[in-house]
C-alpha cells in the first residue's frame, strides 16, 4: 500500500479526515491546522539535539542520530493512529514543510498496511493558502452586521440565529475574547494569531452566498487582529442596530462577566485590575464611586455607572459618522430579536 500526496486545497474535499501533525509539541502549540492531533515523531529536546548535530556534523549524521530517537517509538505511533482512526476515515499526516518527518510516518503507515496521504508542502503550504484566501477575500457571502452599545445582547442574538439555522460568524467566540477591556475575564488564554486566522478561514469557507450575521468589531479583539477582508465586510455590510434598556444591559454584563467564580474574589480582583486601566478616561470622583460599588459587590450598579460614564459616550462618539440602519431590534428579548432578523434577511418566515 502506497501513500499519496495531497495538496492543501484538496484537504477539505475529504470527508471528516483524521489529520495528524507529526511535528514537535512546541511547534504544534504555536500553530496548527484546526482539528489536527499531535503525534510527534520527535520531542522538543530531541528535535533541538538533532538540529545541533545537523549544524555541526551535517545532514547524514543528523538523520542517523534521529533514528535512535525514532526507532523505538514506531509501534506506539502506529498504534495511536490506528486507535484514533475510525473505519473508512481518511488519514492525512503533515509536518512543517512536507519533509522527512511526514514522509517517514507516511512510509511507516504504508508498510503497516494503513492507507494515508501526506500534505504536500506541510503546514507551511497550508498556511500560505489561508493567507492568500484571506487577502483575496475568496468568500462569497452577504454580511449582516449587528451594531449596538455594550450589553445589548448582540452575542446572544448570534447564538439564537445559529439555533434558527442561520449562518453566523461569531468572531468573539473564535478569538475567545468579548472585545472590551474586560473581554478576557474568565475565558482563559486567547489562541495565537495564526490559529485564529486558521479557524476563521475554516468558518468562512463553509459559508454560501446567503446572509451571514456577525457583530461589528474594531480591528483588535483582545490581542488578536482581524484580517482586512473581515473589516471591509463589517464596514460595507447591511447594518442592524441592537438597542436595550440600561437595566437589562447591566444585568446581562454582570451575568456574563462575573459568574465564572461565584462567591470567589478572583473575578473581583481581576475586574478591579482591569478597571484601573480606565481611570484616565473617567473623572476621579466617578472612578472612586465605581470602585466602591465593585468592592461592595454591587456589581450591577458599578457596571451601570461605567456604561453611563464611559462606554455609552464612547459608542455614541464612534457612531457620529455612521449612516442609517437597515433595521433596529430590541435586545431585551434576544430570541425575539433573532426571529425578527432571520425573517427579514433570510426572506422566509421563521417558526415561533
Q: What per-residue confidence (pLDDT) applies to 305?
A: 94
**Upper half-sphere CA count for residue 209 (Cβ side, 13 Å):** 0
Evaluate if residue 351 carries a pLDDT over 80.
no
Q: What per-residue confidence (pLDDT) applies to 262?
A: 46
Q: What per-residue confidence (pLDDT) applies to 352?
A: 40
Nearest-10 crossing angle of helices 246-258, 299-306: 120
Q: What confidence tens digit (pLDDT) does each residue in 35-65 have? A: 999 999 999 999 999 999 989 999 899 889 9
Q: What per-residue confidence (pLDDT) applies to 85?
A: 94
Evaluate if residue 185 carries a pLDDT over 90.
no
Question: Which set of grid coordinates corresponds to residue 226?
Answer: 482581524
156-160, 202-206, 273-277, 306-310: the lowest-pLDDT one: 273-277
Q: What confidence tens digit (pLDDT) does each residue in 7-22 have? A: 999 998 999 999 999 9
Q: What per-residue confidence (pLDDT) applies to 349?
A: 41
**Contact predicate 337/330, CB 8 Å:** yes
**Contact predicate 148/337, CB 8 Å:** no
Rounded Cα–Cα distance for residues 246 and 255 (Å): 14
Evaluate if residue 287 carries a pLDDT over 70.
yes
φ and ψ at 172, to 5 degrees? -70, -35
Q: What are the Cα distances from residue 288, in Å, to 23, 71, 284, 322? A: 52, 65, 6, 33
Quick one: average pLDDT of 13-35?
Answer: 96
Q: What per-residue confidence (pLDDT) applies to 347?
A: 52
Quick one: average pLDDT of 207-233?
Answer: 95
Confidence band of 350 (pLDDT split at 50, 70, 90): very low
Q: What is the DSSP string of 308-332?
A: IIIIHHHHHHHTTT----SEEEETT
The pLDDT mean for the chain works out to 91
Q: What per-residue confidence (pLDDT) applies to 136?
A: 95
Question: Strand, helix or coil at 20?
Answer: strand
Residue entry with cell 452599545: 149
Quick one: average pLDDT of 99-106?
Answer: 92
φ and ψ at 190, to 5 degrees? -80, 155
In this structure, the strands spanning 220-221 and 167-169 are: unpaired
Q: What per-residue confidence (pLDDT) applies to 264?
A: 53
Nearest-10 crossing angle of helices 74-84, 100-111: 70
Q: What per-residue confidence (pLDDT) applies to 273?
A: 80
Structural domains of the chain in order of their starting residue, each with its CATH number: 4-132 (3.40.250.10), 139-346 (3.40.50)
Evaluate if residue 336 carries a pLDDT over 70.
yes
Q: With pLDDT > 90 as the criterion, what percentage of the chain qualifies?
A: 73
Quick one: average pLDDT of 179-200?
Answer: 91
Q: What per-residue confidence (pLDDT) applies to 59?
A: 87
Q: What per-residue confidence (pLDDT) applies to 282?
A: 86
Q: What are the Cα distances from residue 189, in Å, to 38, 214, 271, 272? A: 20, 22, 16, 19
Q: With pLDDT > 70 as the criterion, what percentage of the chain qualifies?
A: 95
Amino acid at each position: 500500500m502506497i501513500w499519496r500526496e495531497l495538496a492543501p486545497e484538496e484537504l477539505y474535499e475529504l470527508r471528516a479526515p483524521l489529520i495528524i501533525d507529526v511535528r514537535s509539541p512546541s511547534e504544534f502549540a504555536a500553530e496548527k491546522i484546526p482539528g489536527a492531533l499531535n503525534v510527534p515523531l520527535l520531542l522538543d529536546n530531541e528535535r533541538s539535539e538533532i538540529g545541533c548535530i545537523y549544524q555541526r556534523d551535517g545532514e547524514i549524521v543528523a538523520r542517523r542520530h534521529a533514528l535512535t530517537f525514532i526507532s523505538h517509538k514506531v509501534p506506539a505511533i502506529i498504534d495511536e493512529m490506528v486507535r484514533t482512526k475510525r473505519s473508512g476515515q481518511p488519514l492525512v499526516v503533515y509536518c512543517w514543510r512536507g519533509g522527512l518527518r511526514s514522509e517517514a510516518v507516511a512510509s511507516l503507515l504504508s508498510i503497516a498496511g494503513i492507507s494515508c496521504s501526506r500534505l504536500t508542502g506541510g503546514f507551511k503550504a497550508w498556511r500560505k493558502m489561508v493567507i492568500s484566501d484571506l487577502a483575496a477575500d475568496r468568500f462569497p457571502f452577504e454580511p449582516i452586521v449587528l451594531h449596538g452599545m455594550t450589553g445589548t445582547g448582540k452575542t446572544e442574538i448570534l447564538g439564537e440565529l445559529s439555533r434558527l439555522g442561520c449562518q453566523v460568524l461569531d468572531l468573539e467566540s473564535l478569538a475567545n475574547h468579548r472585545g472590551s477591556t474586560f473581554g478576557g475575564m474568565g475565558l482563559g488564554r486567547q489562541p495565537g494569531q495564526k490559529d485564529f486566522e486558521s479557524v476563521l478561514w475554516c468558518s468562512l469557507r463553509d459559508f454560501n452566498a446567503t446572509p451571514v450575521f456577525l457583530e461589528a468589531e474594531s480591528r483588535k479583539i483582545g490581542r488578536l487582529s482581524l484580517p482586512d477582508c473581515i473589516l471591509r465586510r463589517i464596514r460595507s455590510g447591511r447594518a442592524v442596530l441592537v438597542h436595550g434598556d440600561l437595566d437589562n444591559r447591566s444585568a446581562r454584563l454582570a451575568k456574563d462577566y462575573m459568574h465564572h467564580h461565584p462567591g470567589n474574589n478572583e473575578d473581583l480582583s481581576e475586574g478591579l485590575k482591569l478597571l484601573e486601566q480606565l481611570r484616565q478616561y473617567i473623572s476621579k470622583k466617578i472612578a472612586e464611586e465605581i470602585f466602591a460599588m465593585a468592592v461592595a459587590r454591587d456589581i450591577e450598579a458599578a457596571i451601570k455607572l461605567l456604561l453611563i460614564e464611559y462606554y455609552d459616550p464612547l459608542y455614541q462618539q464612534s457612531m457620529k459618522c455612521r449612516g442609517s440602519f437597515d433595521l433596529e431590534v430590541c435586545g431585551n428579548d434576544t430570541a425575539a430579536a433573532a426571529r425578527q432578523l432571520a425573517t427579514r434577511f433570510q426572506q422566509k418566515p421563521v417558526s415561533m
